Structure 1
Amino acid sequence: MNVTTISLKYFFFALTIIGALLSFYYRSLVSKTSPGNKNREKILGNMKDPISWRERNSKLSYISMFWTAVSFVIFLYFLLFSRTGTLSVTYLIIYIVLIAASLYFVKSNKKSTDA
């Protein structure tokens, strides 16, 4: 099965926007829960381990920034250097699996520290 490069261009543009929004969200959570911030108690509440929660959100923001940058570079490649054609959907599936695996390892790292 093949996908056109035009549709891939817009797919990676959408991933860039989603990644930027997620990165902003996680960074704002980390900054709002920093010591001395007035919103800290509203967000953290009675959380058991807020330090590891902040570290995990910080890691998620960096991972989101990384995949945002990669998606933007791929978008620019398809926008500027790629000609119209088709590409195997296998590459797209591998890219999505890599993103999911990187997010899964952050979540599984949290579970291993709780035990």
Structure 2
Amino acid sequence: MKVHRKCFLSMSGQKTFHQAADDCIEHGGVLAAPGDREENDALHEYAVRTVGREHEVWLGITDITAEGSWADVSGVTVNFTNWETEITQQPDGGTRVNCVVMTGLAIGKWFDESCRLRKNYFCQYNIP
């Protein structure tokens, strides 16, 4: 699926955050990280089609380096976030949960999760 200058590819199986990030690197990409609302919405729709309505998909965003400072897997601070704030006031896990998952039940909103959980994921490839 292509949006702007990015191509997103659904990968098979579920992995922990770090396993998923490593797998994307092995395939020449990075763990997907939407940069704006349009990319987030397109990635959510792609997840519904490929994984299902109740999907939980890792995003390549974490605050492992500095609690509360969310950055992509290359270490660049993210400018766009899509936290679920109507029901649970995400991110709410503190130092216990440092990775980001997009969920289908919350219509593409983000939750902070334990990086050790196994989730579906997408790799992102930049298009020149």
TM-score when scaled to structure 1? Answer: 0.22
More strand by share: 2
By percentage of residues, which structure has more helix? 1
TM-score by length of 2: 0.20
**Higher RCO (C-alpha 8 Å, min separation 6):** 1
State which structure, 1 or 2, has the greater radius of gyration over its C-alpha atoms: 1
